[in-house]
A = this chain, B = another copy of it.
């Protein structure tokens, strides 16, 4: 194949046109940008990270990877940057350019339309800033582009904004599982009617498709992780860190497979383990020899007052398991990228429940899709 291809993600070949159709197009809507710009937790974290650490920006060169409407580039300029390169793959770049002009920063911020992998800058930069985090941190695989930018364009003394990222996982209780199971079951019942009617009225036996239909529905209703705002009370045990990323040193091969084993303790009396919640946080710490003055955290953990547009991802168990305080879960977690779309993820989750009494429940292994 020709020029519409590009190697992305550990040498896997990705058709850029297809990737654009599947992925980037979402980001070309102002409606979507506005949603992200209205996420106060996200906005405050980046705003404070920049303005409480102006020494990282003042008189410095900055690269904003995936600038969208341009907000991080504008703040970087307002914090005193000498030059900001703001790279954006979609037509949103035109709005970013208008915004730069309207805010009188066109002498500092240069908006470049193109994908990060293709862009050539006239110089290396002191800071790479980017809001690259997808659901459960790595969905969208946008950090690949940040890594690419860092390896090509960050000075050896440069700083990453954010500098660190972590994925979290915790046992949860939730009623959504029951709803999903209902949807799944009524879908299946409906299918049997459909098979009967198609045979009776139209003389074709569809029953051979019962299993594939059921598999498709199971994947959709039961195996696809769900976006949710969990209340902190729904977290029924300790949360574990699945993965820690140092944005200055991480490679694509460090993140394209996330493998971890960890323990979770139930800390709630007499409850139901309905599944697991996954979320992330990132930190702005600067660099070891050039640290932040004020370290800022952006967390997407369950929270009453500080929800984000990322929410949490919920991985359901069917049926739920009755647990009590002191029960212990040994979890093995493996997240890989979907073969069909490198921006989506698949999770293999193994779990052993060791009851407080000392007894072991039969271990289980589930497959999930982060879509």
Interface string of A192-226 (1 = CB under 8 A from B): 00100010011111111100110011001000000
Contacting residues of chain A (237-260) with chain B, CB-CB under 8 angstroms:
none
Q: Residue A78 at the B interface, CB < 8 A?
A: yes
Could you tell me the distance between the alpha carbons of A74 and B47 in the complex, rounded to whole angstroms? 62
Interface hits, A1-59 → B, CB 8 Å: 1-5, 15, 17-18, 20-22, 29-31, 34, 37-38, 43, 47
Instruction: Report the interface size class on chain A.
Output: 35 or more
Complex CA distance for A202 and B206, rounded to whole angstroms: 59
Residues of the B chain whose Cβ atoms lie less than 8 Å from the Cβ of A47:
201-202
Q: Pick the contact of A217 from B31, B69, B206, B208 — CB < 8 Å? A: B31
A351 contacts the other chain (Cβ, under 8 Å)? no
Interface check A75, CB cutoff 8 A? yes
Q: How far is the CA of A191 from the CA of B69 in the complex (A)?
A: 15
CA distance A202 to B103 in the complex (A): 12
Cα-based distance from A103 to B20 in the complex (angstroms): 41
CA distance A101 to B3 in the complex (A): 41
In this assembly, does A95 line the interface, its C-beta being within 8 Å of a C-beta of chain B? yes
Q: Which residues of B contact A213 (CB under 8 A)?
A: 30-31, 34
Which of A20, A101, A191, A204 has its CB near the most chain B CB atoms (within 10 A)? A204
Q: Which of A57-84 contact B (CB under 8 A)?
A: 69, 71, 74-75, 78
B17, B201, B216: which contacts A31 (Cβ < 8 A)? B216
Answer whether residue A98 sits at the interface, using C-beta atoms and an 8 A cutoff: yes
Least CB distance from A195 to B in Å reads 10
Contact between B15 and A209, CB atoms less than 8 A apart? no
Q: Is the CB of A38 within 8 A of B205?
A: no
Residues of chain B with a CB closer than 8 A to A220's CB: 31
Q: How far is the CA of A201 from the CA of B46 in the complex (A)?
A: 13
A residues with CB within 8 A of B? 1-5, 15, 17-18, 20-22, 29-31, 34, 37-38, 43, 47, 69, 71, 74-75, 78, 95, 98-99, 101-103, 187, 191, 194, 198, 201-209, 212-213, 216-217, 220
Sort A-B residue pairs by CB-CB distance and give the 8 closest, nearest first.
A2-B2, A102-B208, A1-B2, A17-B18, A21-B21, A30-B213, A15-B17, A18-B21
In the complex, given contacts A30-B213, A71-B204, A75-B202, what are 14 additional A-B residue pairs having Cβ atoms less than 8 angstroms apart? Answer: A1-B2, A1-B3, A2-B4, A4-B4, A4-B17, A15-B18, A18-B21, A34-B191, A34-B194, A69-B209, A75-B204, A78-B204, A95-B212, A102-B208
